[in-house]
Amino acid sequence: MSYRSFNELAERAKSLPDKRRCVVAGAEDEHVLEAVFRARREGIIGDPVLTGRGELIADRVRALGEDPGACVIADVPEGSGKNPAQRAVELIAEGAGDFLVKGRMDTKDLLKPVVDRTNNLHSEDSPSGGLMSHLAFFRIPGVDRLVVVTDGGMVLYPDLNQKKGLILNAVGTLRAMGWERPRVAVLCAVEKVNPRMKETVEAAELAEMNRSGEIPDCVVEGPISYDVAMDPGIAAIKGYRSENCGRFDVLVTPNLTTGNLLGKSLLVSAHAELAGIVVGARIPIVVTSRGSSAEEKFHSIALCVVASAGQTPRGGA
């Protein structure tokens, strides 16, 4: 299966019997609070846990017309020298939550306690070897399904092994969400291997890893250009024969800059909708930009809930 829209994704999250609980690090952000309480009202999550400046968080919860008693507020006073993300990670380790949400803080401050080995959230035993990567799910007008772009937010210049990790992270997440055999396109400028274009050589090697079973449970094709991957008509004109053109679920970009530019082009010029999470740790993480809307944050929370559905809940809702 796959999802055609974020509404379908939200309905799937609502249908899950065990309500996941989010822990927000730096919960003073109004858009994050709006998204979190909407997710709670719609039955997507249980009572949220909010870390940061307690009185300010409570005031902003009330300003949204919500009851601070409907959540757990873990006070991290300003000037205390403590990182709200560290407190959030501790609460998850204690069983108070199932996934992490970025609030009003820098991404590097959010992820610092996640990768700290003493917190036991970062595993090098994962299929990707502990590589953490960003998955951007796009609802693109005119496209009949959600399409995933990786990695436009975490890994700057992935080498061949890291690109393998990007695919393993994406495929593992999609399969946990219900995709049976995700289709993966390794994007390049052309469809033929050119030794002078390193990304085409690596794309072909990744496709061979897939054929040999080193990258299992999916279909990997590359090198392939964006237009050929997305449009079977263009693929036919260019003589690229594949039943997957127009049906790819995951687009792997050569580097972060390419992924970031592709994502922003889809958002700004194609008016796509977005939800994004970071995967590769023991829990999925909602990491949206400061300029993201409450709608995008809500979609990302629903995405995190469905992606984490295969995990054992840490307790009641």
Ordered domains of the chain (ranges, CATH): 1-122+284-310 (3.40.50.10950), 125-280 (3.40.718.10)
Q: Which two tokens stand for residue 215?
A: 């990258």
Q: What are the backbone dihedrals phi and psi of residue 14, each rounded to the nearest 5 degrees, phi first?
A: -65, -30
pLDDT for res 314: 41
Return left, alpha or beta for 79; rule: phi > 0 is left, psi -120 to 50 is alpha, else beta: left
The helix/strand count (H/E) of the chain reads as 11, 11
pLDDT for res 310: 55
pLDDT tens-place values along the chain, 317 residues long = 789 999 999 999 999 988 999 999 999 999 999 999 999 999 999 999 999 999 999 999 999 999 999 899 999 988 777 889 999 999 998 999 999 999 999 999 999 999 888 888 877 767 777 899 999 999 999 999 999 999 998 999 999 999 999 999 999 999 999 999 999 999 999 999 999 999 999 999 999 999 999 999 999 999 999 999 999 999 999 999 999 999 999 999 999 999 999 999 999 999 999 999 999 988 899 998 777 889 999 999 999 999 987 544 443 33
The distance from CA 166 to its chain's CA centroid, rounded to whole angstroms, is 12
* Residues 177, 259: Cα–Cα separation, whole Å: 22
Which pairs from 94-98 meet CB under 8 Å and 24+ separation? Answer: 95/314, 95/315, 96/21, 96/23, 96/49, 96/72, 96/314, 96/315, 97/21, 97/22, 97/23, 97/49, 97/314, 98/20, 98/21, 98/22, 98/283, 98/308, 98/311, 98/313, 98/314
pLDDT for res 77: 86
pLDDT for res 292: 82
- Prediction pTM value: 0.93
